[in-house]
């Protein structure tokens, strides 16, 4: 084989490898986006739970104060 053929074969192989790597990077990016979206949903759920608990505590405190005023 001549040097030019070897170089062109190497370039073709390199191009194929680069295309595969780019395809893999796109798949990884897609997976990252899906994970970030799922994580943000989980955080939102956690925040909602905390808000509900805080609201519950506020209502309980309000009821306690109301009954303390009535009992005096």
- Reported as a single tens digit per residue, the pLDDT across 8-54 is 888 888 888 989 999 999 999 898 888 888 877 777 788 889 999 99
pLDDT score for 6:
76
Instruction: Write out the two tokens for 34.
Output: 């899906």
- Choice between 19 and 72, residue whose per-residue pLDDT is larger: 19
Instruction: Write out the two tokens for 13.
Output: 């192989």
pLDDT score for 35:
85
Q: Is the pLDDT of residue 1 over 70?
A: no
**Sequence ranges of the domains in the chain:** 4-69
Global pTM value: 0.49
Cα(72)–Cα(65) distance, integer angstroms: 11
């Amino acid at each position: 084989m001549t040097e030019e053929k070897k170089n062109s074969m190497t370039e073709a192989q390199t191009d194929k490898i680069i295309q595969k790597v780019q395809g893999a990077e796109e798949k990884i990016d897609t997976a990252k986006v899906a994970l970030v979206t799922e994580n943000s949903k989980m955080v939102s759920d956690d925040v909602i739970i905390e808000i509900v608990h805080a609201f519950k505590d506020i209502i309980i405190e309000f009821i306690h104060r109301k009954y303390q005023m009535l009992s005096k």
